[in-house]
C-alpha cells in the first residue's frame, strides 16, 4: 500500500500544508524512514534547483545518462515529466519527479564529467560493469538508500578514475588536500555505515549517511572538474 | 646595436606597469582570471573599470570587452602564466566573476552579484547583493556584509559569514563554519570535521539546518524565538543554557522540542559532537570566537 503522505511532501516543503496536517506529518516523519529520506532529497533538490540558472545544454546528455542509470529514452515512449516552476519562484516535484531528479543529480555529477573525458565515442559503447549478484553475499541496505546505491557507486567510480588519471596534472599540494579530505569523508561514511548497521531504522543515521556520501560525490566532482580544467 | 636597443625596449615594454581604464555601462559585468597572485577589487563612483598590474616578462595582462562583459585575464607568453597581482577598480553595481588557481581574491564594497572560484587561495569579500557564490579548495572563505542568495564553500579551511542577510548555504569539509551577526531566512550550514556556529535572529517560517560529523553545533536563540527544534546525534551530547521540554523522542539520540509558538524549523545534527543551544551573547559563543582569535 502506498504511503498517503508521499504525495504531500512538496506541500510540506513549500509551507503550504495546513497546520494540523503539518503536525501530523511531523509525527509521521518520526516513524517513516522512506518519507524522511525523500524529504531530505526533496529539500536538497529544491535548494539546488533554486540556485540554477537557465542555460541551454551544450549537448544532449540524456542518452548517456539514460544508459548509465538503465532508463529508457523519451523516444521510446516514456513521457517526459516537466518540472513545474511556480509563480513565486519555488519549485515543486511529485515523487516520481523527485526520484528522477535525485538519480539525475547523481548521474549528472559523474556522468557529465565522464562524458567530458577523452574518446567519448568509445566510452559510449563500453558495456557497463555489472556487480555479481549472489544472494549469499548481499549486504542488507536501508530502504531509503537502496534505489540510489548503484548509480552512486558508478558515479563515484567514474569520478575516482578521472581523478586518478589526472592527478599528475594537478599541483601536488592540491592532490594532498583532496586526498586528505576524501579520506576524512570516507572515514565519516564508514562510521555512519557502522552506525546504520547497528540501528538500521534510525532515520537520522540513514539520512546522515546519504548526506555524507553525497558530499563525497560533490568533492570528487569538484576534483574531476579541476582535472578537466588543467587538461 | 639597433638589435640590442630593440630587445631592451621590448623587455621594458613587457615589464612596464599596466594601468588601463575602460568605460562601462550599467549592466556590464567583469570577468577576471589570474592563474596566480591576487585579484583585488575595489569600488569607485565612476562607470569605468581600471586595471592596474605589474606583470613579469613571462606573463601578460589582457583587458578586453565583448558584449556585456569586460574581461581581464593573465596569460603566459610561453607556458603557464606566473603570479600577477591585479588591482581592479569597478563601479559598485558591477557583477563580478573572479577566478584563479593559485590566487587570493579580495573584494571590498561590492553591491552586485559576486562569484569567486579559486583553488589555492584565500577569499575575502565584503558586500555583494543578489547571488553571491564564493569557493576555494585550499583556502578560507570570508564573507561580510552581503545580502541575497549566499553560497560559501571551502574544502580544507574555515568558512565565515558575518553581517549578512538572506538565504545562506555554507559548507566545508575540514574546517569550521562560523556565522556571526547573520540574518538568515534559510540556512544550510555543514562540515565534516569542524564546528558549526550560528548567531543571529531566527525568523518565523525560516528553516535552519546545521550539521557536522566530527564537530560541535552551537546556535543562539533569543527568548522570543519561535521554532520547532529537531536534534539528532549518534554519540554526541546536547546542552542547553535554558530549559526545554521535549515533545517526543529520547534524549541523547533524536528528539524535538518547541520554542515559543514554533514558527521556524531548526535541525541540529552532529554525529559525534555536542549540540548546544545558547542565548545570544553567550560566553559559549564568545569562547568560540576567543578560541578562534587565539588561533
Q: Do B213 and A188 touch (CB under 8 A)?
A: yes
Residue in the block written with cell 510540506: A12
Give the DSSP H/E element, type plus range, for residue B117: strand B114-118
What residue of A is the nearest CA neighbor of B167?
Answer: A47
Residue A124 CA to residue A61 CA, distance in Å, equals: 11
Chain A hits for B173, Cβ within 8 Å: 181, 184-185, 215, 219
Res. A18 pLDDT band, cuts 50 70 90? confident
In angstroms, what separates the C-alpha of A204 from chain B's closest C-alpha?
A: 6
Res. A157 pLDDT band, cuts 50 70 90? confident
Q: Chain B residues contacting A, CB < 8 Å?
A: 101-102, 119-120, 131, 137-138, 149, 151, 155-156, 167, 169, 173-174, 188, 190, 192-193, 205, 211, 213-214, 228, 232-234, 248-249, 253-254, 256, 269, 271-272
Query: Can you give the pLDDT at residue A125?
Result: 30
What residue of B is the nearest CA neighbor of A226?
Answer: B119
Residue A128 CA to residue A68 CA, distance in Å, equals: 8
Give yes or no for a contact between B94 and B24, defined as CB atoms under 8 angstroms apart: yes
Residue A24 CA to residue A18 CA, distance in Å, equals: 10
Residue B240 CA to residue A191 CA, distance in Å, equals: 26
CA B146, distance to chain mean position in Å, is 10
For the ranges A39-53, A117-131, B213-227, B259-273, which has the lowest average pLDDT? A117-131
Residue A61 CA to residue A42 CA, distance in Å, equals: 23
Q: Chain A residues contacting B, CB < 8 Å?
A: 15, 26-27, 30, 47, 50-51, 171, 173-174, 177-178, 180-181, 184-185, 188, 191-192, 195, 202-205, 208, 211-212, 215, 219, 222, 226
Give yes or no for a contact between A189 and A213, defined as CB atoms under 8 angstroms apart: yes
Chain B hits for A30, Cβ within 8 Å: 248-249
What's the DSSP call for residue B267? E
Chain B hits for A184, Cβ within 8 Å: 173-174, 192-193
Among A15, A174, A215, select the one facing B137 at the smallest CB separation: A174
Residue B29 CA to residue B238 CA, distance in Å, equals: 47
Q: Do A202 and B193 touch (CB under 8 A)?
A: no
From the list B218, B190, B217, B210, the residue with the least C-alpha distance to B272 is: B217
Sign of torsion, CA A224 A146 A100 A115? positive
Inter-CA distances, A138 with A69, A132, A146, A216, B122, Å: 20, 10, 12, 23, 46
Question: At residue A142, what are phi and psi to the nearest 5 degrees?
Answer: -55, 145
Q: B144 in helix, strand or coil?
A: strand
Give the DSSP H/E element, type plus range, for residue B48: strand B48-53
* pLDDT exceeds 70 at position A79: no
Q: How long, in residues, is chain A?
A: 231
Q: Do A178 and B137 touch (CB under 8 A)?
A: yes
Please report, rounded to a whole number, the percentage of residues in chain A having pLDDT higher than 90.
17
Grid coordinates given for B29: 559585468
Query: Can you give the pLDDT at residue B250?
Result: 60
More confident residue, A35 or B80: B80
From the list B110, B72, B71, B73, the residue with the least C-alpha distance to B90 is: B110
What's the DSSP call for residue B241? S
In angstroms, what separates the C-alpha of A102 from chain B's closest C-alpha?
A: 18
- Chains A–B, number of C-beta pairs less than 8 Å apart: 83
From the list B154, B139, B10, B15, the residue with the least C-alpha distance to B82 is: B15
Candidates B258, B265, B271: best to mutate against A (most CBs of A within 10 A) is: B271
Q: Do A184 and B173 touch (CB under 8 A)?
A: yes
Question: What number is the ipTM of this complex?
Answer: 0.83
Give yes or no for a contact between A142 and A196, defined as CB atoms under 8 angstroms apart: yes
Among A50, A174, A180, select the one facing B119 at the smallest CB separation: A174
Helices and strands, counts by H and E, chain A: 9, 2
Measured in Å, how far apart are chain A's first and last C-alpha atoms?
52
Q: Do A177 and B137 touch (CB under 8 A)?
A: yes
How open is the CA angle A79-A82-A84, to the nearest 5 degrees?
A: 150
**Which string of DSSP letters, residue by residue, matches A121-180?**
HHHHTSPPP-----GGGPPP--TTTGGGHHHHHHHHHHHHHHHHHHGGGS-HHHHHHHHH
How open is the CA angle B139-B280-B274, to the nearest 5 degrees?
A: 65
Chain B hits for A202, Cβ within 8 Å: 253-254
* Pair type for strands B129-136 and B165-171: unpaired
Candidates B97, B173, B211, B250: best to mutate against A (most CBs of A within 10 A) is: B173
Residue A185 CA to residue B193 CA, distance in Å, equals: 9
Chain B hits for A225, Cβ within 8 Å: none
Residue A124 CA to residue A107 CA, distance in Å, equals: 15
Give yes or no for a contact between B156 and B137, defined as CB atoms under 8 angstroms apart: yes
Measured in Å, how far apart are chain B's first and last C-alpha atoms?
59
Residue by residue, pLDDT tens for chain B (295 residues) are 444 444 444 444 445 789 999 999 999 999 999 999 999 999 999 999 999 999 888 899 999 999 899 999 999 988 888 899 999 999 999 999 999 999 999 999 999 999 999 999 999 999 999 999 999 999 999 999 999 999 999 999 999 999 999 999 999 999 999 999 999 999 999 999 999 999 999 999 999 999 999 999 999 999 999 999 999 999 999 999 988 888 766 644 789 999 999 999 999 999 999 999 999 988 777 655 554 444 4
What is the mean predicted confidence (pLDDT) over A177-199? 93
Residue B61 CA to residue B51 CA, distance in Å, equals: 9
Grid coordinates given for B51: 586595471
Q: Do B271 and A195 touch (CB under 8 A)?
A: yes
Candidates A39, A47, A179, A198: best to mutate against B (most CBs of B within 10 A) is: A47
In angstroms, what separates the C-alpha of A128 from chain B's closest C-alpha?
A: 31
Amino acid at each position: 500500500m502506498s504511503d498517503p503522505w508521499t504525495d504531500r511532501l512538496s506541500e510540506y516543503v513549500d509551507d503550504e500544508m495546513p497546520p494540523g496536517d503539518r503536525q501530523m506529518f511531523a509525527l509521521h516523519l518520526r516513524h517513516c524512514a522512506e518519507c524522511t529520506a525523500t524529504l531530505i532529497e526533496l529539500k536538497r533538490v529544491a535548494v539546488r534547483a533554486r540556485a540554477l540558472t537557465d542555460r541551454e545544454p551544450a549537448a544532449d546528455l540524456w542518452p548517456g545518462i539514460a544508459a548509465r542509470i538503465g532508463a529508457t529514452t523519451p523516444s521510446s515512449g516514456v513521457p517526459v515529466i516537466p518540472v513545474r516552476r511556480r509563480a513565486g519562484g519555488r519549485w515543486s516535484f511529485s515523487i516520481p519527479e523527485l526520484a528522477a531528479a535525485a538519480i539525475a543529480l547523481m548521474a549528472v555529477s559523474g556522468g557529465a564529467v565522464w562524458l567530458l573525458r577523452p574518446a567519448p565515442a568509445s566510452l559510449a559503447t563500453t558495456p557497463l560493469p555489472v556487480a555479481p549478484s549472489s544472494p549469499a553475499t548481499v549486504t542488507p541496505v536501508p530502504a531509503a538508500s537502496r534505489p540510489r546505491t548503484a548509480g552512486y557507486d558508478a558515479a563515484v567510480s567514474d569520478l575516482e578514475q578521472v581523478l586518478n588519471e589526472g592527478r599528475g596534472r594537478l599541483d601536488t599540494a592540491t592532490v594532498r588536500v583532496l586526498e586528505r579530505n576524501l579520506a576524512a569523508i570516507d572515514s565519516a561514511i564508514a562510521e555512519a555505515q557502522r552506525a546504520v548497521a547497528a540501528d538500521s531504522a534510525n532515520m537520522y543515521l540513514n539520512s546522515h549517511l546519504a548526506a555524507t556520501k553525497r558530499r563525497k560525490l560533490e568533492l570528487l566532482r569538484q576534483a574531476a572538474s579541476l582535472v578537466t580544467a588543467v587538461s | 646595436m639597433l638589435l640590442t636597443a630593440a630587445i631592451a625596449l621590448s623587455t621594458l615594454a613587457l615589464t612596464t606597469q599596466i594601468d588601463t581604464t575602460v568605460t562601462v555601462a550599467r549592466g556590464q559585468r567583469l570577468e577576471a582570471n589570474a592563474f596566480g597572485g591576487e585579484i583585488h577589487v575595489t569600488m569607485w563612483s565612476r562607470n569605468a573599470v581600471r586595471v592596474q598590474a605589474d606583470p613579469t616578462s613571462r606573463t601578460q595582462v589582457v583587458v578586453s570587452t565583448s558584449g556585456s562583459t569586460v574581461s581581464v585575464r593573465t596569460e603566459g607568453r610561453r607556458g603557464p602564466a606566473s603570479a600577477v597581482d591585479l588591482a581592479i577598480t569597478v563601479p559598485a553595481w558591477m557583477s563580478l566573476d573572479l577566478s584563479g588557481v593559485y590566487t587570493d581574491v579580495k573584494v571590498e564594497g561590492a553591491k552586485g552579484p559576486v562569484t569567486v572560484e579559486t583553488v589555492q587561495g584565500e577569499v575575502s569579500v565584503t558586500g555583494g547583493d543578489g547571488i553571491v557564490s564564493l569557493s576555494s579548495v585550499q583556502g578560507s572563505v570570508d564573507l561580510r556584509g552581503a545580502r541575497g542568495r549566499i553560497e560559501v564553500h571551502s574544502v580544507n579551511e574555515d568558512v565565515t559569514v558575518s553581517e549578512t542577510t538572506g538565504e545562506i548555504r555554507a559548507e566545508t569539509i575540514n574546517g569550521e563554519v562560523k556565522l556571526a551577526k547573520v540574518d538568515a531566512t534559510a540556512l544550510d550550514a555543514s562540515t565534516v570535521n569542524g564546528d558549526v556556529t550560528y548567531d543571529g535572529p531566527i525568523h518565523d517560517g525560516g528553516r535552519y539546518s546545521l550539521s557536522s560529523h566530527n564537530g560541535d553545533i552551537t546556535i543562539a536563540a533569543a527568548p522570543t524565538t519561535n521554532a520547532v527544534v529537531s536534534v539528532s546525534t549518534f554519540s554526541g551530547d546536547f546542552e542547553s543554557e535554558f530549559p526545554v521540554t521535549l515533545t517526543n523522542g529520547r534524549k541523547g539520540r533524536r528528539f524535538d522540542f518547541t520554542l515559543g509558538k514554533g514558527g521556524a524549523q531548526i535541525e541540529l545534527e552532529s554525529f559525534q559532537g555536542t549540540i548546544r543551544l545558547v542565548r545570544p551573547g553567550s560566553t559559549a559563543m564568545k569562547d568560540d570566537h576567543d578560541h578562534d582569535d587565539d588561533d
